[in-house]
Amino acid sequence: MSKILTEVLNANAAYAADFGDKSKLPMPPGRRFAVLTCMDARLDPAKFAGLSEGDAHVIRNAGGRASDDAIRSLVISHKLLGTNEWFVVHHTDCGMLTFTNEVIRDLLSKSLETASIGPDGWKDTGKGPGSAEGEYVEWLAFSDNAKSVLEDVQRIKAHPLVNKSIPVYGYIYDVSSGKLIEVPAATAAGAV
């Protein structure tokens, strides 16, 4: 068993031992909102949004992007579980700002090992084989944080399965201060 697996299972055992009334939390989120944010380990939505277990849905992916799957989750969150406000939260110093579709596709075509980044950008450090399958993935990288938040809010609001009565707010989380910084154009685009 790996060290990480052991640590996770031990942490879970301690958590489960003191689980208490959490088993009685209802399925719908108590505060009736959802957050779409990045998977970056420096972001803790429970802390930056003041959440307790059972409060809100948190949907995470690379970049916090409004991918088809993220929108699927948001639609389920509203239609079946009653959320009625949504937040799109990207963040400063995001890894998605460091590459393009072409860069990751090239890296993957050479090897499936972890790449490294240096002053000259990304470099493949592994040995092949790679795969051309990366050509068929939209990686959703971006070069402008505020613009990507606006694009994601606009995509969500324009989606035919999204109820137009749901406000969608756009923010950037500052990893150096912990503050949420509004993207006014995104919040305006997400207004009801």
CATH code of the domain in which 54 resides: 3.40.1050.10
Please determine, for residue 184, whether its predicted confidence score (pLDDT) is greater than 90: yes
The CA distance from 15 to 140, in Å, is: 35
The answer on 181 and 86 residing in a single domain is yes
The answer on 110 and 86 residing in a single domain is no
Please determine, for residue 126, whether its predicted confidence score (pLDDT) is greater than 90: no
The answer on 34 and 124 residing in a single domain is no
Q: Work out the percent of the chain whose per-residue pLDDT is above 70.
A: 100
The answer on 133 and 75 residing in a single domain is no
Residues 6+ apart with CB under 8 A from 150: 170, 183, 185, 186, 189
pLDDT tens per residue across span 131-147 = 999 999 999 999 999 99
Domain containing 106 equals 100-138
For the record, the structure tokens of 185 come out as: 């154009």
Residue at 86 is within a domain? yes
What is the average per-residue pLDDT within 93-115?
A: 97
What is the average per-residue pLDDT within 155-180?
A: 98
At residue 167 the predicted structure's pLDDT band, cuts being 50, 70 and 90, is very high
What is the average per-residue pLDDT within 156-178?
A: 98
The answer on 80 and 111 residing in a single domain is no
The answer on 65 and 153 residing in a single domain is yes
pLDDT at 182: 98
User: pTM value?
Assistant: 0.94
pLDDT at 1: 86
The answer on 132 and 86 residing in a single domain is no
The answer on 112 and 92 residing in a single domain is no
pLDDT at 47: 97
